[in-house]
């Protein structure tokens, strides 16, 4: 970088969610980035004036949008709220990025697909969401594509970490109080460590990557929710204490894709990104944190 040295200014919305907290955790490792964290109390992305006001105060070079409505079951009961946040809120962010020449990195989901394939979904596959959550997330993607040229839409799946509410933490918590768990085998996807995703996005920004567009990011491999639970219990040393049962009939309010594994070749080949296997990544989190 020539001339006066200046840090890249990055806004992270949804700062109190699990992915937002993963960025906060690694902030000190990246002195070349000036990370600004906005939680819901700092910024309601559904209020256009709030978004405009925040952007007018700071000259952000990048915006990482982690703000989202993520309760898949509840979205069926209040779709309007899901669309307000995941579509209209995203539109507000995209318009502000356009006005202030900021590059948007937006987090999307494997649930934009219908799960009817039995091979991993590529970025070129046509979305066809089955539930209101997936529909709202796809609408957000479409707003970005209409408004911006310089954006990254990162589709990910089955996020977990030491923060927030997620499947890994639920299994660990239940293993403290119950002797038996019944977990579904009816869905296949990929557990993804939110810490890995945060690090990947941070490196993407540091490199100044300009091959914009949609990218899939999840850990490598595939699993059912049963496989995920079994691995969490095995690594935490609790598998012998719990009777783990499979079921292929686990009723949910929202219809979910049966198969939503994401193909990562675009990242691993075109951008030369190294991605950990899902079991390796859970093990690493356990070793680092003693979960």
Please identify every residue annotated as catalytic. 133
Q: Which two tokens stand for residue 57?
A: 């105060």
CA 285 to chain centre: 17
Specify the residue for token string 């949804």.
14
Length of the chain: 291
CB-based contact 184:225 (threshold 8 Å): yes
**How many whole angstroms separate alpha carbon 229 and alpha carbon 206?**
35
- Alpha-carbon Rg for the chain, nearest whole angstrom, is 19
CB-based contact 177:242 (threshold 8 Å): no
**How many whole angstroms separate alpha carbon 275 and alpha carbon 220?**
7
Q: Is the dihedral of CA 266, 268, 273, 278 positive or negative?
A: positive
DSSP 261: P
Nearest CA to 222 out of 159, 279, 272, 165 is that of 279
Q: Please give the sequence-ordered ranges of beta strands (E in DSSP) within the chain, or none if there are none.
A: 8-13, 33-38, 62-65, 103-109, 151-156, 159-160, 180-184, 188-189, 192-193, 213-216, 223-224, 243-247
- 3 state DSSP class of 183: strand
Q: Is the dihedral of CA 94, 97, 101, 106 positive or negative?
A: negative
**How many whole angstroms separate alpha carbon 249 and alpha carbon 255?**
12
């Amino acid at each position: 970088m020539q001339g006066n040295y200046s840090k890249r200014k990055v806004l992270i919305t949804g700062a109190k969610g699990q992915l937002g907290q993963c960025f906060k955790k690694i902030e000190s490792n990246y002195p070349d980035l000036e990370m600004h964290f906005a939680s819901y109390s700092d910024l309601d992305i559904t209020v256009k004036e709030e978004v405009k006001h925040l952007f007018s105060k700071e000259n952000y070079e990048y915006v990482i949008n982690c703000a989202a409505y993520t309760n898949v079951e509840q979205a069926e009961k209040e779709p309007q709220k899901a669309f307000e946040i995941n579509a209209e809120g995203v539109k507000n962010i995209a318009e502000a990025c356009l006005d202030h020449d900021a590059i948007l990195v937006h987090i999307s989901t494997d649930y934009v697909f219908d799960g009817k394939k039995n091979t991993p979904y590529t970025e070129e596959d046509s979305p066809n969401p089955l539930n209101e959550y997936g529909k709202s997330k796809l609408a957000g993607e479409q707003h970005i594509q209409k408004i911006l040229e310089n954006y990254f839409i990162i589709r990910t799946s089955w996020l977990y970490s030491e923060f927030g509410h997620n499947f890994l933490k639920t299994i660990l918590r239940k293993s403290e109080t119950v002797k038996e768990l019944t977990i579904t085998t009816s869905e296949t996807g990929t557990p993804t460590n939110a810490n890995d995703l945060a690090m990947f996005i941070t490196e993407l920004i540091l490199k100044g990557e300009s091959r914009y567009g949609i990218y899939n990011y999840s850990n490598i491999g595939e699993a059912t929710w049963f496989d995920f639970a079994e691995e969490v219990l095995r690594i935490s040393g609790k598998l012998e204490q719990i009777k783990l049962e499979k079921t292929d009939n686990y009723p949910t309010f929202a219809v979910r894709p049966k198969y939503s594994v994401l193909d990562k070749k675009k990242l691993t080949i075109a951008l030369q990104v190294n991605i950990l296997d899902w079991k390796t990544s859970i093990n690493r989190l356990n070793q680092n944190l003693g979960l």
